[in-house]
Structure 1
Amino acid sequence: VDAIDQKDVAAMKEECGDVLMQAVFHAEIAQKEGEFSYMDVITGLCRKLIDRHTHIFGSNHASNADEALVFWEAAKKKEKHYKSASDQMDRVPKNFPALLYAEKIQKYAKKVGFDWDDVSGAYQKIAEETEELKNADDAHRMEEGGDLLFAVVNALRFYKVEPELALREANKKFMRRFSTVESEVKASGREMKDCTLDELDAIWNKVKEREKQENENA
């Protein structure tokens, strides 16, 4: 993921090789055990792509990406024999990052009508959960914090913003600005620990404004 984010082609090539090595490694073991072969893997992949792209290989017609995704999910549901939204939620990989996991199960809830009509409901929930976090005792603070994060994911979902990517970008932006602040403080002959929070905030805001102007002029 880092290689993709940084658009590092050489690193992407290396990572693709690592992924391919894992596929070859496991297929080789399975073939020796008489379980499946390389061809079985390739055939299965081709079969899945054909079966799930009913708007390309079947009679369905999709006028945009959202409609294509609806057909994909319908084909997947039929293929996997899902009987309920809960069944689909249970099949979401438990090792997914928490934000991505939340987004996935919220989308399944939406498909059966368990969702707000618009984003205003999500904002109300964020306000509600914020108050509950502020008033929570130590024993319930983690639970309420999780509820707040879950509500924020819901709001982002209405805007078709992937929360995992949004937080990655926020992390990168914070690190970039923090590094600049630290460099400017050191250039003045001081250390950050010797500055007041107001002083650091003032430098931070200057860095933020400078970035904004650079982006506008780009």
Structure 2
Amino acid sequence: MNSRKDQLKSLDRLLTIMDELREQCPWDKKQTMQSLRHLTIEETYELGDAILDNDLNEVKLELGDVLLHILFYAKIGSETEDFDIADVANAICDKLINRHPHIYGDVKVADAEEVKRNWEQIKLKEGKKSVLEGVPRSLPALVKANRIQDKVAGVGFDWEKPEQVFEKVQEELGELQVEVASGEVDKIESEFGDVLFSMINYARFLGVNPENALERTNKKFIKRFQYLEKNAKKMGKDLQDMTLKEMDIFWNEAKTKE
């Protein structure tokens, strides 16, 4: 691996390139924080895909794209004299030191869970009015639910055992069925949301990331369905003309090839 000297040299090279692009490239010159925002979100999702695929070379490349965006925002901030990359780095350094008193102070902790609880308490002392302030409003609902549950658990608002959470899942499923029978769409949607929320909570207790789990299933479904499409085409058939029983043959074949 590269030495610290080489690592710093590569960052300095990237900073120089960022300066040159901002001064000379027509596209880079016109970008603002607002215009970059959706691109940054896209790059973050691409990094997430690479991580799920366990493609480490792609992870390396996508991390570079995300790093470029960080430097881009810092460059724009320096142009308005609000902040630069040094301010960004020092701010996170100060935050990490303050939130790790068990490393940089005399606080003793027993395990990672205690570190998380201390983390949330420290943030409240820093001036946050709610533990949930740190949950971005624009997060996808599934990810947001997971972060909400994780954060409130950090201050002790949590179940004690996985069995209790599973009982809650069953309770919510029962309430959903009652509303399904009633036929009231608003109430069905509300109860369906409760079922999903409780399932996400159960995933946390099982040590499973629900976003990753669902995305793995998405990828699995896509792979199987495309196998079905491919073989239907070989037979000269349209899916619309096939029976479910015929489609199931290829679906089950796809499962055996995984």
TM score, norm. by length of structure 1: 0.79
Query: Which of these residues, 155, 164, 182, is aligned with residue 121 of structure 1?
Result: 164
Change (3 A) 1:16 1:206: closer
CA-to-partner distance for each residue in 1:17-55, whole Å, 9 max, x for gaps? Answer: 332333223322322323223321121122122222333
Q: 2:104 aligns with which of 47, 53, 57?
A: 57
Q: Which residue does the alignment assign to 1:70?
A: 117
Alpha-carbon RMSD across the aligned residues, in angstroms, is 2.6
- What whole-Å deviation, never above 9, does each CA across 1:73-116 have from its counterpart, x for those lacking one? 3433333x345xxx111331111221121112123333455433
Contact kept, 8 Å, 1:122 with 1:155, in 2: the verdict is yes
| 1:88 and 2:131 aligned | yes
1:194 positional shift: 1.8
- Deviation, 1:8, is 4.2
Who is 1:170 aligned against?
217
Q: Which moved more, 1:2-11 or 1:20-29?
A: 2-11
SS of the residue 1:26 aligns to? helix
> Where does 1:78-157 land on structure 2 (aligned, <5 Å)?
78-79=125-126, 81-83=127-129, 87-131=130-174, 132-133=176-177, 134-135=180-181, 136-157=183-204
How many residue pairs were aligned?
207
Instruction: State the 1:169 CA deviation.
Output: 0.9
On the 8 A contact 1:54/1:72 being kept in 2, the answer is no
1:95-148 deviation line (CA, Å, top 9, x unaligned): 122112111212333345543332233323323333425334223332222122
Give the whole-Å Cα distance in 1 for the aligned partners of 2:165 and 2:56: 39
2:87 to 40, 50, 63: 40
Is 2:236 the partner of 1:193?
A: no
Which amino acid counterpart does residue 123 of structure 1 have in structure 2?
F
Deviation at 1:171, TM superposition (A): 0.6
User: For the structure 1 residues 76 and 113, does the alpha-carbon distance in structure 2 shift closer, same or farther, using more than 3 Å as the test?
Assistant: closer
- 1:115 is paired with a residue whose SS is coil
TM-superposed deviation, 1:157:
1.3
